């Protein structure tokens, strides 16, 4: 699974990445992570509010920091 965190590197972006990593570990998923901070690349995803979570090239959430449980549900849906 390929996971991208889109955002400037702010605290919310870091919290989203932390929640995503915890969810991946909890589910036992093999995943790679990338943190995209370039505003042009973020905009190319159609994201207007960060942080955003991209799973296997699909934006699954943006504009908020979800709980670990919510990320787990998003990841399970994508499998």
Q: What is the pLDDT of residues 22-36, one digit of tens each?
A: 999 999 999 999 999
Give the pLDDT of residue 10: 92
**This prediction's pTM:** 0.92
Q: Which of 5, 13, 16, 65 is catalytic?
A: 13
Rounded CA-CA distance 55/6 in Å is 11
Q: Known catalytic residue: 13?
A: yes
What is the Cα–Cα distance from 31 to 8, expressed in whole angstroms?
Answer: 22
Q: Is domain 2-78 in CATH 3.40.50.10490, yes or no? A: no
* Domains of the chain by residue range: 2-78
Annotation marks residue 10 as catalytic? yes
Residue 19 pLDDT > 70: yes
For residue 56, count other CB atoms closer than 10 A to its CB.
Answer: 13
């Amino acid at each position: 699974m390929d996971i991208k965190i889109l955002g400037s590197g702010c605290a919310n972006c870091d919290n989203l990445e932390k929640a995503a990593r915890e969810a991946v570990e909890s589910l036992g998923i093999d995943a790679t992570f990338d943190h995209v901070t370039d505003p042009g690349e973020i905009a190319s995803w159609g994201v207007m509010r960060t942080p955003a979570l991209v799973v296997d090239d699909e934006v699954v959430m943006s504009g908020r920091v979800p709980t670990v449980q919510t990320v787990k549900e998003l990841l399970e849906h994508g499998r």
